[in-house]
């Protein structure tokens, strides 16, 4: 699919790519606009936009609160999709949606894929939809050429990783550790062994996320992964210093 | 249950990848236990020595005469150790945890009964224990929090979302994905990802197995109807399972009507326009949610029924019309509770009182030759603060005020 090729082309120019995460409607869509502008201008390669859900089971406190506050402010799925279309139109980097399966299930799987494809969205990350539960989802992803990004975890066996890789497109999202988003990860020997197992299981580009917060973290991933994912860190930064702090932070990461 | 964990259109295992391996192991161990008759024997022996199984089936003579319809029998799950049917599931999972060699258990709790039962099991089996409980429920069920802590469990009040059962479940999952290697999540009801709905129903099925024998002994034939309250659905599945193939027995689930079906303040998931099919907390069922798929606020006077989803097995039985669903409002429940205490000297939990309210509405229309069984899933003395408050009991109020003064003077 297009997403994989786009990332491979960019990867030829950089030792490591950068994906960032925003929660749509948090703190506001205007703030989202400014944050994305700062991210793109400072060289972010790919952005995952989270459509908020009332039960974000896989997210830690920072993103959980962002989901709840966005919904409390009245964010609707339709607002998120319009905003996604606007960003994909405006900027020349791939945009993805991250959300939980119920949002897509309620919208209707096929209408959702159709809409995402029309709006120029390149991929979907759905942490509570393992391939066993996503037969029709995966078929529609193929039909509409919107990449289903699957997740590896440190608890995944080699056999399981190969199975997941067989269903995934675009890239593989490697969760750096057990647990939820936002907490610091340690990049020791266990982590290196895990990434070696990930690399052996798939030829897709590898993104590493969960608890990546600094230039040092990203430096440590060079040569082992293709893309680093910054999630909760930029949300906290916007909370404490406002959207304009994002640009300098991103610029200082590589 | 099919290979992917579905019951008809409902169920499944919508879990994050980090839990995949653990669920494989859980399923394998559960399958082994199902096939091993010695496991069920061990379970029965534990429940008859540590808890009070078989629990009695009480003939409610005064209530039967009062309504003048069918003979009313009450299945006394309130007489289980820790005071509710929750112990059946928890002790079963405890045996499973021992076999899997995990050192720590976590659980969510609404009314506090499941948390209580889990803390008890953890104390008995020497396991570390953390209980997640919505902040609103911590306030509603303070006595249970006290006992859980006394038995060595850590109780964590959950301050996110609606601060009730569903939020406690999310937080327990967050703990589990972090500590998956040494921790088992003792899921409290017949919901969640497969194999939990089936496994919990299996442990609870002991209720119906006993009740079938008992009603034949006392009444000479199968009951006409069986009533159970439905929150997540574990006590209902527990008593219904044995009777699913008995075509002359009507099974009735009673959901929490809260302030009424049109109030937007209830927990009616089946037969209610506010609910629709959805996927959350790891499984597919009927959820109280808006058109975007965001979960709605729920309300019930009974914390244990105050939940957005319902067992996928019950959604399937509802769809196939094998179980009829009704609801009872907070007010009807208080009346049913009052009547049961006055007539029988039995105090059902607020949750269980929903089953009584549902049964009282219909029992007068049945023949005295027939019998009904009401599943009293738990005892009501845990609800003393809520019940006393709802009855606006003046002497209780005075007691609390005086005790408060005594504490603040120190």
Are A130 and B280 in contact (CB < 8 Å)? no
- The per-residue pLDDT for B381 is 86
Phi-psi category of residue B63: left, alpha or beta, with phi > 0 → left and psi -120 to 50 → alpha: alpha
Check if the beta carbon of residue B114 is closer than 8 Å to that of residue B108.
yes
- In chain B, which stretches have pLDDT less than 50? none
- The per-residue pLDDT for B2 is 87
Range of the domain at A131: 2-251
Same domain, B142 and B235: no
Are B281 and A101 in contact (CB < 8 Å)? no
Predicted confidence band of residue A76 (pLDDT cuts 50, 70, 90)? very high
Tokens (6 digits) for B136: 């609103």
Residue B170 to residues B29, B179, B269: CA-CA distances in angstroms?
24, 14, 19
Burial (CB count within 10 angstroms: exposed 0-12, middle 13-18, buried 19+), residue B321: exposed
Give every CB contact of residue B311 below 8 A, 6+ residues apart in sequence. Answer: B189, B190, B191, B197, B201, B230, B232, B233, B234, B236, B237, B285
C-alpha span between B39 and B29 (Å, rounded): 11
C-alpha span between A203 and B280 (Å, rounded): 32
Closest CA to A153 of B16, B397, B264, B311: B16
| Whether A157 contacts chain B with CB within 8 A | yes
C-alpha R_g of chain B: 20
In tens, the pLDDT along A136-185 reads: 999 999 999 999 999 999 999 999 999 999 999 999 999 998 888 777 77
Residue of A56, A65, A102, A136 to mutate when probing chain B, most B C-beta within 10 A: A102
The answer to whether residue B3 is catalytic is no
Same domain, B17 and B142: yes
Same domain, B240 and B98: no
| Whether A129 contacts chain B with CB within 8 A | yes
Indicate which CATH number applies to the domain containing B191: 3.40.50.1100
* Global ipTM: 0.95
Same domain, B363 and B287: yes
Please give, rounded to a whole number of angstroms, the shortest distance from the CA of A33 to a CA of chain B. 23
Burial (CB count within 10 angstroms: exposed 0-12, middle 13-18, buried 19+), residue B31: exposed
- The per-residue pLDDT for A174 is 97
- The per-residue pLDDT for B389 is 87
Across the interface, which of A64, A164, A179 has its CB nearest the CB of B160? Answer: A64
Please give, rounded to a whole number of angstroms, the shortest distance from the CA of A10 to a CA of chain B. 28
Cβ contacts of B179 on chain A, cutoff 8 Å: 178
Please give, rounded to a whole number of angstroms, the shortest distance from the CA of A181 to a CA of chain B. 10
Cβ contacts of A153 on chain B, cutoff 8 Å: 16-18, 20
Mean of pLDDT values over A210-216: 89
- The per-residue pLDDT for B84 is 95
Same domain, B23 and B127: yes
End-to-end Cα separation, chain A, in angstroms: 27
Boundary residue ending a domain (B200, B219, B250): B200
Are B16 and A54 in contact (CB < 8 Å)? no
Boundary residue ending a domain (B200, B230, B260): B200
A161 vs A213, residue with greater confidence: A161
Mean of pLDDT values over A120-129: 98
- The per-residue pLDDT for A182 is 74
Residue of B nearest to A105 (CA): B278
Same domain, B255 and B165: no
Sign (positive/negative) of CA torsion B31, B32, B34, B40?
Answer: negative
Same domain, B72 and B220: yes
Q: What are B's interface residues with A at a Cβ cutoff of 8 A?
A: 4, 12-22, 160-161, 166, 170, 173-174, 177-181, 276-282, 287, 289, 291-295
Per the structure, how many domains does chain A have?
A: 1
Same domain, B287 and B353: yes
Residue B334 lies in a domain: yes
Same domain, B360 and B305: yes
Across the interface, which of B18, B277, B291 has its CB nearest the CB of A178? Answer: B18
Cβ contacts of A156 on chain B, cutoff 8 Å: 17, 20-21
Residue B237 lies in a domain: yes
- The per-residue pLDDT for A210 is 87
Across the interface, which of B18, B166, B287 has its CB nearest the CB of A155? Answer: B18
Tokens (6 digits) for B229: 């309250």
Range of the domain at B109: 13-48+85-200
The 3-state DSSP class for residue B170 equals: helix
Catalytic residue among B64, B75, B108, B315: B108
Indicate which CATH number applies to the domain containing A32: 3.20.20.70
- The per-residue pLDDT for B208 is 98
Residue B372 lies in a domain: yes
Residue B301 lies in a domain: yes
**Beta strand segments in chain A, E:** 17-23, 46-50, 95-98, 123-125, 147-152, 172-175, 206-209, 227-230
Residue B236 to residues A77, B144, B190, B202, B318: CA-CA distances in angstroms?
36, 23, 9, 12, 13
C-alpha span between B234 and B352 (Å, rounded): 12
The answer to whether residue B150 is catalytic is no
Residue of A nearest to B277 (CA): A106
Residue A237 to residues A214, A245, A248: CA-CA distances in angstroms?
12, 7, 11
Per the structure, how many domains does chain B have?
A: 2
Predicted confidence band of residue A16 (pLDDT cuts 50, 70, 90)? very high
- The per-residue pLDDT for B141 is 83
Burial (CB count within 10 angstroms: exposed 0-12, middle 13-18, buried 19+), residue B205: middle
Catalytic residue among B102, B351, B377, B382: B377
Query: DSSP readout, B264-313?
Result: T-SB--SS-TTEEEEEETTEEEEEEB-TTSPBPP---SSGGG--S---HH
Please give, rounded to a whole number of angstroms, the shortest distance from the CA of A36 to a CA of chain B. 25
Q: Which residues pair with B130 in a beta bridge?
A: B106, B154
Characterize B96-128 residue by residue with b for buried, 16 or more Cβ atoms within 10 angstroms of its Cβ, and e for exposed: bbeeeebebbbbbbbbbbbbbbbbbbbeeeebe
Same domain, B97 and B190: yes
Tokens (6 digits) for B217: 């002994």
Are A55 and B295 in contact (CB < 8 Å)? yes
Predicted confidence band of residue A220 (pLDDT cuts 50, 70, 90)? very high
Same domain, B181 and B219: no
The kind and range of the H/E element at A87 are helix A77-90
Cβ-Cβ pairs closer than 8 A, A with B, add up to: 110
- The per-residue pLDDT for B111 is 80
- The per-residue pLDDT for A101 is 98
Residue B394 lies in a domain: no
């Amino acid at each position: 699919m297009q997403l994989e090729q786009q990332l491979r082309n960019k990867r030829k120019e950089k030792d490591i790519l950068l994906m960032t995460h925003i929660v749509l409607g948090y703190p506001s869509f205007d703030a989202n606009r400014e944050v994305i502008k700062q991210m793109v201008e400072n060289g972010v390669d790919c952005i995952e936009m989270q459509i908020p859900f009332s039960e974000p089971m896989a997210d830690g406190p920072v993103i959980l609160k962002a989901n709840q506050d966005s919904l409390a402010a009245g964010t609707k799925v339709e607002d998120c999709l319009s905003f996604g279309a606007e960003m994909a139109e405006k900027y020349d980097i791939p945009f993805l949606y991250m959300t939980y399966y119920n949002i897509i299930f309620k919208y209707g799987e096929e209408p959702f894929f159709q809409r995402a494809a029309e709006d120029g969205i390149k991929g979907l990350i759905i942490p509570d939809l393992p391939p066993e539960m996503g037969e029709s989802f995966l078929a529609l992803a193929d039909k509409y050429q919107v990449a289903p990004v699957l997740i590896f975890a440190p608890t995944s066996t080699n056999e399981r990783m190969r199975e997941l890789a067989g269903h995934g497109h675009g890239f593989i999202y490697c969760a750096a550790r057990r647990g939820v988003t936002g907490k610091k990860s340690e990049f020791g020997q266990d982590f290196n062994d895990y990434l070696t197992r990930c690399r052996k299981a798939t030829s897709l580009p590898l993104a590493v996320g969960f608890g990546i917060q600094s230039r040092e973290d990203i430096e440590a991933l060079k040569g082992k992964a293709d893309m680093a994912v910054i999630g909760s860190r930029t949300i906290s930064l916007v909370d404490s210093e406002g959207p304009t702090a994002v640009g300098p932070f991103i610029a200082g990461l590589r | 249950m099919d290979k992917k964990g579905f019951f008809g259109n409902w169920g499944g295992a919508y879990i994050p990848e980090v839990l995949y391996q653990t669920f494989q192991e859980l399923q394998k161990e559960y399958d082994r236990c199902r096939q091993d008759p010695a496991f069920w024997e061990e379970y029965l022996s534990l429940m008859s020595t540590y808890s009070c199984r078989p629990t009695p089936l009480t003939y409610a003579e005064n209530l039967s005469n009062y309504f003048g319809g069918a003979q009313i029998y009450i299945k006394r799950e309130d007489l289980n150790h820790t005071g509710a049917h929750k112990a059946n599931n928890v002790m079963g999972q405890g045996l499973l945890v021992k076999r899997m060699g995990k050192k720590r258990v976590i659980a969510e709790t609404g009314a506090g009964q499941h948390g209580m039962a889990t803390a008890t099991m953890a104390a008995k089996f020497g396991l570390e224990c953390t209980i997640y409980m919505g902040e609103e429920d911590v306030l509603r069920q303070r006595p249970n929090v006290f006992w859980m802590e006394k038995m060595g469990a850590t109780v964590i009040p959950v301050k996110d979302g609606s601060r009730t059962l569903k939020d406690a479940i999310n937080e327990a999952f967050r703990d589990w994905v972090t500590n998956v290697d040494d921790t088992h999540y003792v899921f409290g009801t017949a919901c969640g990802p497969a194999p939990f709905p089936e496994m919990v129903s299996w442990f609870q099925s002991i209720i119906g197995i006993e009740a079938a024998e008992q009603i034949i002994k006392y009444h000479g034939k199968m009951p006409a109807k069986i009533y159970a309250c439905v929150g997540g659905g574990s006590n209902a599945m527990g008593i219904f399972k044995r009777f699913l193939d008995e075509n002359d027995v009507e099974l009735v689930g009673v959901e929490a009507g809260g302030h009424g079906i049109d109030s937007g303040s209830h927990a009616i998931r089946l037969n209610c326009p506010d609910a629709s099919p959805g996927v959350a907390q790891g499984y597919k069922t009927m959820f109280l949610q808006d058109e975007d798929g965001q979960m709605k606020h729920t309300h019930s006077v009974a914390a244990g029924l105050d939940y957005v989803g319902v067992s996928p097995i019950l959604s399937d039985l509802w769809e196939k019309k094998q179980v009829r669903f009704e609801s009872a409002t907070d007010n009807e429940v208080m009346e049913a509770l009052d009547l049961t205490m006055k007539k029988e000297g039995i105090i059902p939990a607020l949750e269980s009182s929903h089953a009584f309210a549902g049964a009282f509405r219909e029992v007068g229309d049945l023949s005295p030759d027939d019998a009904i069984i009401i599943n009293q899933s738990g005892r009501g003395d845990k609800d003393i603060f809520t019940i006393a408050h709802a009855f606006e009991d003046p002497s209780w109020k005075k007691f609390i005020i005086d005790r408060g003064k005594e504490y603040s003077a120190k």
